Structure 1
Amino acid sequence: MKNKTLAAWLAFLGGPLGLHRFYLRGFGDVLGWLLPVPTALGLYGIERVQQFGQDDVASWWLIPLLGFTIAGCCLTAIVYGLMTREKWNAKFGQPEDADAGGTSWFTIFAIVLSLMIGAGVLMASIAFSFQRYFEYQVEEGRRISQ
């Protein structure tokens, strides 16, 4: 039986590595294997910022990949946590009244943490990428005008 609470926590904590996908769909899930790619690229972007500074254009594209992946996995945890027992059990071929699709306080904590962390990471990713982009545009405008 696929437990909704465990799936929500896996999506929140291990989502960027695809752990929730492997738990729910097995190791043959293609999206589960693809999720670590933007995570690794985002971590590489953070490494580039530490190495080359904030003026590195490649890091402006790579870092938001990590943020958007984390935010998407947090959204997935929220969707899992808010799914009704009947819908969860029907989706995974379990009896309609199985306890695995029930909501507990641990599920609520996963939803709340996913909402807080996911929203914060999403806003930070958007702010970082837009700030760096507009600063770059201003610098290019100054260079053209001189």
Structure 2
Amino acid sequence: MPRNKNKTLATWLALLGGPLGLHRFYLRGLGDLWGWLYPLPTALGLYGIERVQQFGQDDHWSWLLIPLLGVSIAASALTAIVYGLRSPEKWNAAFNTAGSSEAPAGSTNWFTVIGVAAALLLGTGVLMASLAFSFQRYFEYQIEEARKISQ
């Protein structure tokens, strides 16, 4: 008999380990293709941060790669919010099919609510920071190119 999947644990796994796909592996097992694809944008974004440290902020690849990390973290935070706000009946129907629709693993408690609030805070902050970084670099690049043309 498969074990019931806990909604609170899945919420926190999506928040803390989401960019690595840990929540997908918890809910769907190690054979989940999407779980294995989650680390790709995370690794590319971390490579973008490494490029900034090596080549400076004027590196064009870095301002293209860093938002991938931000989007990966923000998507994981959004997943945590969706998991945490799902009703117990829908949660148990999706992930605890062997049990009843009232199984306690799908219930919401204070740890779930705190996880949703933390996901909202982290996800919006990271998404806005990564977008601001990219747009700032993009517009600075456009100004540099305009100055080159005008001279």
TMscore range, shorter length: over 0.9
Alignment gaps of 5+ in structure 1: none
For 1:62, the equivalent position in structure 2 comes to 65
Q: Percent identity?
A: 71
Give the Cα–Cα distance (whole angstroms) in 1 for the partners of residues 150 and 74 of structure 2: 39
Alpha-carbon RMSD: 0.5
CA distance in 1, matches of 2:91, 2:46: 33
**Cα distance in 1 between the residues matched to 2:68 and 2:84:** 24
Residue 55 (structure 2) aligns with: 52
Cα displacement (A) at 1:116: 0.3
Structure 2: gaps of 5 or more residues:
none
Q: Take 2:11 and 2:45, find their aligned partners in 1: how far apart are those partners?
A: 23
Describe the superposition over 1:27-84 as per-residue Cα deviations: whole angstroms up to 9, x where unpaired. Answer: 1111100010110111110010001000000001110000000000000000000000
- The residue correspondences of 1:6-85 to structure 2 (distance < 5 A) are 6-85=9-88
The correspondence for 1:116, drawn from 92, 96, 121, is: 121
Distance in 1 between residues matched to 2:144 and 2:135, nearest whole Å: 14
Number of residues of Structure 1 aligned to a counterpart in Structure 2: 146
Aligned-pair distance for 1:100? Answer: 0.4
The one-letter code matched in structure 1 to 2:116 is I
Q: Deviations over 1:2-26 (max 9, x none)?
A: 0000000000000000000000000
Q: What is the DSSP-based 3-state SS (H/G/I as helix, E as strand, rest coil) of the residue aligned with 1:5?
A: helix
1:95, distance to aligned residue in structure 2 (A): 1.2
Q: Partner amino acid for 1:7?
A: A
Deviation at 1:110, TM superposition (A): 0.4
Q: Could you tell me the TM-score, scaled by structure 1's length?
A: 0.99
Q: Which amino acid aligns with 1:50?
A: Q
**Is 1:145 the equivalent of 2:133?**
no
Output the CA distance in 2 between the equivalents of 1:23 and 1:72. 17
Normalising by structure 2, report the TM-score: 0.96
Ranges of 4+ aligned residues in structure 1 off by more than 4 Å: none
